[in-house]
Structure 1
Amino acid sequence: MALERVFRKKDFAEVVDALLGDIASGLGGRVALTDAAEGSVVRTLAEAFARELAVCYEQLDSVYRNAYLDSASGAALDNVVALLGLERQRGGHLEGSVVFGRGQPAPEDIHIPLGTLVAGRGVPLFATTAGSVLDKGERSVLVGVRAVDPGGATVKAGLLTHLPRPIAGLESVTNPGDLLLRQREETDEELRARARRLVLSSHTGTVAALEEAVRSLGIREVQVIENPGGRPGEVEVVLGDTDIPADLLEQVRNRLEDVRPAGIVLRCGPATPVFVQVTATLTLNADLPEREQRDIEKRIGDALIAYFGQLKVGEAVRAAKLRALLLGHDAIVGTEPTGQRPLMEPFVWNDGALQSVAFRSLLGNGDVLAGPGERIGLYPEALPLRLSLEPPLLPVQVDADLTLAAGSAVAGLDARVTAVLKDTFERAARRATTGTPADIPYAELRDAVAAALPAAKILRLRVSVIHERDGRVEELDDAAGHATLATREQAMMRRIAVRAEDGHG
């Protein structure tokens, strides 16, 4: 950052020109001395005085610059940071490199400031030793890092995993190689960056300070909730990681006490798990062998586990997203609820047992909401995925046998009856579900046909329904018969036989 100067520094030439101009002006009743030629007495005296004055300007500028963190250097910088209680690191710090990356090419340049903190579970805190940029179109950049505190054992590759202060656009960070002890002395830029971090960290009592204190201990996900449940004067820190041992949790609480706002009740603990059981009937595009069906179930299960595993604290699960995952396999062409069970049912631990909380977390559209401090996930050991794979639903075939009274001539009889029967079966198929098949009573069919033939008297109507999946045949006649249709089945008219008899039947 450029310094705002409170005075204008002049160099030697500017001072000489100013002196000669003043001497030649004759202001104040003085004799005007205008002999400014090289070697003249006037110019020699002016230059001698200007040199001393220019040296004073340089000395004042040096004193001015050495009083500020951004411009001081060397021993002067040591004196400035001493006001903060810091000393220059003389060597013996772990050093190495980390890779900042993202899954997709960067849409714009992403700046990584000097002094960016990098942390990991059970390892010292590191900071970048230089500013860097992840260029537009690139996916990763290599940056040098140095341990904040001296000493320590070698840090193995891959142990640095996250940023205590996340940078928008960066998705991952890791050390590709081991971080080793070096004897290099801390540079001025590194010392300035460390001093700036100390100033920022001294701003305790803020949400950012609480989050950084937790992340610096290797916790990836942290959420700070102010006034939880409407209780003023309280702050709840929720840890989103699932594998936090007791000793690390104690370290987190101790670190939070150092930055806790005065007079605030602070609570810290892991997120409350909400386990979801998924129940669905999946329709295949063909009647596949058992082995292939097991492979499909495994792939869909892996996709669900991966999705639920990346959910954050307080993040909801959308039913539309879950259906998209269930339909992600090429062999799956449809998904339906199984009976009366919802697609997702949430559970929580209560007195050592899993208890459903659908009454408060399950919405009418099938979404599952997470409350503050809750994290939704799967628990296959206790709540296994209930996925039922079914072969495709085949159409049904319909045969109709119609007897009319003699003299009941009807134009386009076959077309009318075919249209009526097909419409009746299609409407039944649309209202049917896998759990609740639709029934078609004989009386409904007879009334529909009679309405289509107002000028004719029906003596007898018999309809045969053949289900192609299992070959089951259902007869509809005046013996109060009925047909059962599962969801998405469509009536396919096969034959209509119409006979005209006398009025006595």
Structure 2
Amino acid sequence: MALERVYLKKGFSDVVDALLADIASGLGGRLALTDANEGSVVRTLAEAFARELAVCYEQLDSVYRNAYLDSASGPALDNVVALLGLERQRGGHLEGTAVFSRGQPAPEDIHIPLGTLVAGRDVPLFATTANAVLDKGERLVVVGVRAVEPGGTTVKAGALASLPRPIAGVDAVSNPGDLVLRQREETDDELRARARRLVLSSNTGTVAALEEAARSLGIREVQVIENPEGRPGEVEVVLGDRDIAPQLLEEVKNRLENVRPAGIVLRCGPATPVFVQITATLTLNAAVSEREQADIQKRLTGVLTDYFGALKVGEAVRDAKIRALLLGHEAVVGCERTGQRPLLEPFVWKDGSGLESVAYRALMGNGDVLAGPGERIGLYPEALPLRLSLEPPKLDLWVDTTLTVAAGTPTAAGVQARITGAIKDVFDKAAAKATAETPASLGYAAVREAVTNIIPPEAIVRLRVTVTHERDGLAEELDDDTDVASIGAREQPMPRKLTLRAEGGDG
């Protein structure tokens, strides 16, 4: 950045021209000397003085520039950063490269400034050694990195994994190769970047300072909550990583204490887990074997595990998203709730009482599950296994009919076929009214009316219909006008048996 000069710097020719103009002006009653030709006494004296004055201007400019971080260089820069307690790194630092990447091509250029911090679990803190740009349309860029502190042992590939100060548009960072000790001395640009970083980090007591303090130890996800639950004067730092050892947690607390605002109560800990149990009935596009069902279950479990594993602290789970994931399998064509149970039901651990449902506060009317501040939603298959019922496109609804008629009533095979057809028609009409949300209802009166179109009402002694659902084996009896049977949207009525007997006969 160019410095704004507070004085006017003149070069040699500017000073000579100014002197000759002043000597020739005769101002103040002086004798005007106008011989400015090359080699003249007047010009020679003016040029001799101008040279010394121009040298003074250059020396003043050098002193001025060497007093600022942006323009000082070499030993002068060493003196400037010494005011911050810094010294130039003389060698013996771990160095290598890091890859900054994103899942999709960048929509615009993403700038990665020199001195960007890169951290990892149980490894030294690193900083980039040059300005870099993740170009529009690209997914990654390779940048040189150098350890902030000297010494250390070789850092294995993949150990760097997080940015203490996240960069918008960059999804991940990692070192593709080992980071090893090099003897290269720190350059002026690298020293300037480290000095600027120190100035920024000295601004303690801010949300950014708290986040950076935790991220510098390799914590990837940090959320700072001010005045949690309306308690003024408190700050809660939630660590979103899932595998934080007690020793690392203690180190984070100590680092946060160094930047904690004065007079503020600071609490730090991992995110509170909220476990979701998924219960769904999935309709397949065809009847499949048990082995194929097991493969479908395995794939869906993997998809859901990956999705929940990527959720951030405080991120909600949408009912529509889970349905979309379940329907993403090519063999699944429908997704419904199982009975009255919700698709998603949230649970939390309660001391001394195990898992407890928190649907009353976390489950929304549209089926979404919301996470509170400091909570992370996830799966716990050991205690809350996925309950996915896989069903074929159609389910049989078995209809068994027993009809007792008065003696002398025709019971020939043709009559029986007509009665069976009439009963099937009335069940088919009722089934057509069923929806995925609301099953259809069929009353006893409708079945009796269909039968009386074939046999006179006075000839019917007793009509009893047993409806058996293939889905769960539930049997429903239609024996008088108060009885009603339910028919699901995917159930197809299947008249299985008609027992037609005449009163006093063998049937």
TM-score range, shorter chain: 0.7 to 0.9
Report if the CA contact (8 A) 1:303-1:325 is conserved: yes
Structure 2 residue identity aligned to 1:232: P
Structure 1 residue identity aligned to 2:432: E
Q: Summarize the Cα distance change of 1:30–1:420 in structure 2 as closer, same or farther, 3 Å threshold.
A: farther
Aligned residue number for residue 435 of structure 2: 430
Q: Which of 433, 442, 464 pairs up with 1:440?
A: 442
Aligned residue number for residue 101 of structure 1: 101
Count of aligned pairs: 469
Q: Summarize the Cα distance change of 1:397–1:155 in structure 2 as closer, same or farther, 3 Å threshold.
A: closer
Structure 1 residue identity aligned to 2:81: V
Aligned residue number for residue 178 of structure 1: 178
Q: Summarize the Cα distance change of 1:94–1:473 in structure 2 as closer, same or farther, 3 Å threshold.
A: closer
Q: Summarize the Cα distance change of 1:16–1:112 in structure 2 as closer, same or farther, 3 Å threshold.
A: same
Structure 2 residue identity aligned to 1:199: V
Aligned residue number for residue 234 of structure 1: 234
Aligned residue number for residue 349 of structure 1: 349
Report if the CA contact (8 A) 2:430-2:487 is conserved: no
SS in 2 for 1:6: coil
Report if the CA contact (8 A) 1:421-1:449 is conserved: no
TM-superposed CA distance for 1:274, in Å, is 0.7
TM-superposed CA distance for 1:481, in Å, is 7.0
Instruction: Give, in whole Å, the separation in 1 of the partners of 2:29 and 2:446.
Output: 126
TM-superposed CA distance for 1:442, in Å, is 3.6
Structure 1 residue identity aligned to 2:487: L
Q: Summarize the Cα distance change of 1:475–1:224 in structure 2 as closer, same or farther, 3 Å threshold.
A: closer
1:30 has 2:36 as partner? no
Aligned residue number for residue 130 of structure 2: 130
Instruction: Compute the TM-score of the two structures, normalised by the length of structure 2.
Output: 0.85
Instruction: Compute the TM-score of the two structures, normalised by the length of structure 1.
Output: 0.85
Aligned residue number for residue 408 of structure 1: none
Instruction: Give, in whole Å, the separation in 1 of the partners of 2:277 and 2:126.
Output: 41
Aligned residue number for residue 485 of structure 1: 487
Deviations 1:265-310 (A, max 9, x none): 0000111111111111111110001101100000000000000001
Aligned residue number for residue 223 of structure 1: 223
Deviations 1:88-125 (A, max 9, x none): 11111111111111111111111000000000000000
Deviations 1:327-352 (A, max 9, x none): 11010010111112111111111124
SS in 2 for 1:278: strand
Q: Summarize the Cα distance change of 1:311–1:34 in structure 2 as closer, same or farther, 3 Å threshold.
A: same
Q: Summarize the Cα distance change of 1:340–1:419 in structure 2 as closer, same or farther, 3 Å threshold.
A: closer
TM-superposed CA distance for 1:448, in Å, is 11
Aligned residue number for residue 48 of structure 1: 48
Report if the CA contact (8 A) 2:124-2:147 is conserved: yes
Aligned residue number for residue 73 of structure 2: 73
Report if the CA contact (8 A) 1:127-1:148 is conserved: yes
SS in 1 for 2:349: strand
SS in 1 for 2:162: coil
Report if the CA contact (8 A) 1:424-1:445 is conserved: no
Structure 1 residue identity aligned to 2:237: V
Instruction: Give, in whole Å, the separation in 1 of the partners of 2:341 and 2:4.
Output: 70
After superposition, residues 202-213 of structure 1 pair within 5 angstroms as 202-213=202-213
SS in 1 for 2:238: strand
Instruction: Give, in whole Å, the separation in 2 of the partners of 1:177 and 1:200.
Output: 30
SS in 2 for 1:430: coil
Instruction: Give, in whole Å, the separation in 2 of the partners of 1:239 and 1:443.
Output: 64
TM-superposed CA distance for 1:26, in Å, is 2.1
SS in 1 for 2:157: coil
Report if the CA contact (8 A) 1:432-1:438 is conserved: no
SS in 1 for 2:138: coil
Aligned residue number for residue 161 of structure 1: 161
Deviations 1:128-171 (A, max 9, x none): 11111111111111111110001111111110011000000111
After superposition, residues 184-333 of structure 1 pair within 5 angstroms as 184-333=184-333
Aligned residue number for residue 373 of structure 1: 374
Instruction: Give, in whole Å, the separation in 1 of the partners of 2:294 and 2:346.
Output: 25
SS in 2 for 1:119: strand
Deviations 1:211-255 (A, max 9, x none): 000000011111000000101000000011111111111100000
Give the percent of matched residue pairs that are identical in Structure 1 and Structure 2. 76
Q: Summarize the Cα distance change of 1:264–1:474 in structure 2 as closer, same or farther, 3 Å threshold.
A: closer
Structure 1 residue identity aligned to 2:365: G
Structure 2 residue identity aligned to 1:91: G
TM-superposed CA distance for 1:258, in Å, is 0.5
Instruction: Give, in whole Å, the separation in 1 of the partners of 2:73 and 2:486.
Output: 89
Q: Summarize the Cα distance change of 1:321–1:432 in structure 2 as closer, same or farther, 3 Å threshold.
A: closer
Aligned residue number for residue 402 of structure 1: none
Q: Summarize the Cα distance change of 1:46–1:362 in structure 2 as closer, same or farther, 3 Å threshold.
A: same
TM-superposed CA distance for 1:449, in Å, is 13
Aligned residue number for residue 114 of structure 1: 114
Q: Summarize the Cα distance change of 1:217–1:474 in structure 2 as closer, same or farther, 3 Å threshold.
A: closer
Aligned residue number for residue 358 of structure 1: 359
TM-superposed CA distance for 1:25, in Å, is 2.0
TM-superposed CA distance for 1:474, in Å, is 10
Q: Summarize the Cα distance change of 1:291–1:162 in structure 2 as closer, same or farther, 3 Å threshold.
A: same
Structure 2 residue identity aligned to 1:247: Q
The two structures, once aligned, show a CA RMSD in angstroms of 3.3
TM-superposed CA distance for 1:29, in Å, is 2.2
TM-superposed CA distance for 1:24, in Å, is 1.9
SS in 1 for 2:209: helix
TM-superposed CA distance for 1:464, in Å, is 9.6
SS in 2 for 1:37: coil
Report if the CA contact (8 A) 2:440-2:488 is conserved: yes
TM-superposed CA distance for 1:487, in Å, is 2.2
Q: Summarize the Cα distance change of 1:163–1:225 in structure 2 as closer, same or farther, 3 Å threshold.
A: same
Aligned residue number for residue 19 of structure 1: 19
Deviations 1:443-493 (A, max 9, x none): 35789999xx9xxx99999999999989x999989887755411245789x
Report if the CA contact (8 A) 2:24-2:32 is conserved: yes
Instruction: Give, in whole Å, the separation in 1 of the partners of 2:451 and 2:152.
Output: 90
Q: Summarize the Cα distance change of 1:395–1:388 in structure 2 as closer, same or farther, 3 Å threshold.
A: closer
